[in-house]
Amino acid sequence: MGKVAIVTGAGSGIGRAVSLALLDAGWSVVLAGRRREALEETAALSTGESLVVPADVADEAAVDALFAQTKARFGRLDLLFNNAGTGAPPVPLEDHALDAWKRVVDVNLTGAFLCTRAAFRLMKDQDPRGGRIINNGSISAHVPRPRSVAYTATKHAITGLTRSTSLDGRAYDIACGQIDIGNAATDMTRVIARGVPQADGTLKPEPVMDLKAVSDAVLYMAGLPPEANVQFMTVMATQMPFIGRG
């Protein structure tokens, strides 16, 4: 059997692109996300071996079931791509609703932790032992956009999760790295090309890049031998306002 991956948020955007790239490269891929229909659409786009498992990563029981189904079907796990994420309405910080804050934290941070914990439990006991975890950080793991306190806070926290996972994973041959993505062209980022708020209060369009640049980068990280790891990688549209932003 070839290598096995779990991709969260696999029903659209970056998750779909990475899932398809892994499938095309011969991986078996467990497609996880909240919407079964979207996951099945992803699966239908490839002839590779996939398993559709609807799951909300913020739900502990759903995450445990996701990894249990992966083990039952494939017997092991070689890669977890922690990609599922959400944002909150871009309102002034003082008007940010607590329930919106909690939902972003639940999905972006707690969800990544729950999946990482489940991956550790599976990877440390399998034979051969170990595996790889790649976290989707974001440019917001470095600098914020205006009115993005919840999203930015969770993405900064993902960097801490990556570092702790990388350190604690050494004992079990589990590598962990992070990819920070800036302005990849997806349905969710169409607004970027039309115009988004800048730090100086203006509204300006920003350059975007093709999703293939992201999937190629993740595929490279995933394909490294066990003794090598990309700790942090930034992949972004060349002319986007990253250096100097914020």
Task: Tell me the pLDDT tens digit for each residue of 72-119.
Answer: 999 999 999 999 999 999 999 999 999 999 999 999 999 999 999 999
pTM of the predicted structure, to 2 decimals: 0.95
Q: How far apart are CA 42 and CA 30, in angstroms?
A: 11
| Alpha carbons 174 and 130: distance in angstroms, whole number | 5
Contact 32, 51 (CB under 8 A): no
Q: CATH class for domain 4-236?
A: alpha beta
For residue 85, give every residue at least 6 positions away whose Cβ sits within 8 Å of its Cβ, in sequence order, or none.
Answer: 9, 107, 108, 136, 138, 151, 154
Residue keyed to tokens 């100097």: 244
Residue 246: the pLDDT is 46
For strand 203-204 and strand 196-197, is the pairing parallel, antiparallel, or unpaired? antiparallel
Using an 8 Å Cβ cutoff, are 82 and 136 in contact? yes
* C-alpha distances out from residue 30 to 71, 179, 215, Å: 10, 20, 16
Residue 7 · residue 31 · CB < 8 Å: yes
* pLDDT digits 0-9 by tens, 191-227: 887 888 888 888 888 889 999 999 999 999 999 999 9
Which member of 57, 151, 181, 241 is catalytic? 151
Q: Where are the domains of the chain?
A: 4-236
Residue-wise pLDDT for 15-65, tens only, equals 999 999 999 999 999 999 999 999 999 999 999 999 999 999 999 999 999
Please confirm, yes or no, whether 151 is among the known catalytic residues.
Answer: yes
Mind listing the pLDDT tens digit for each residue in 124-146?
999 999 999 999 999 999 998 89
Q: Rounded to a whole number, what is the largest CA-CA distance in the chain?
A: 55
**Measured distance CA(209)–CA(17) in Å, rounded:** 13
Q: How many CB atoms lie within 10 A of CB 73?
A: 13
Give the closest residue to 15 by CA, choosing from 40, 32, 35, 37: 32
Structure tokens of 236? 């972004």
Query: Which residues are registered as beta bridge partners of 238?
Result: none
Q: Is 244 left (phi over 0), alpha (psi -120 to 50) or beta?
A: left
- The 3-state secondary structure of 3-54, one letter per residue: CEEEEECCCCHHHHHHHHHHHHCCCEEEEEECCHHHHHHHHHCCCCCEEEEE
pLDDT score at 190: 78
**Rounded distance, CA 97 to CA 180, Å?**
27
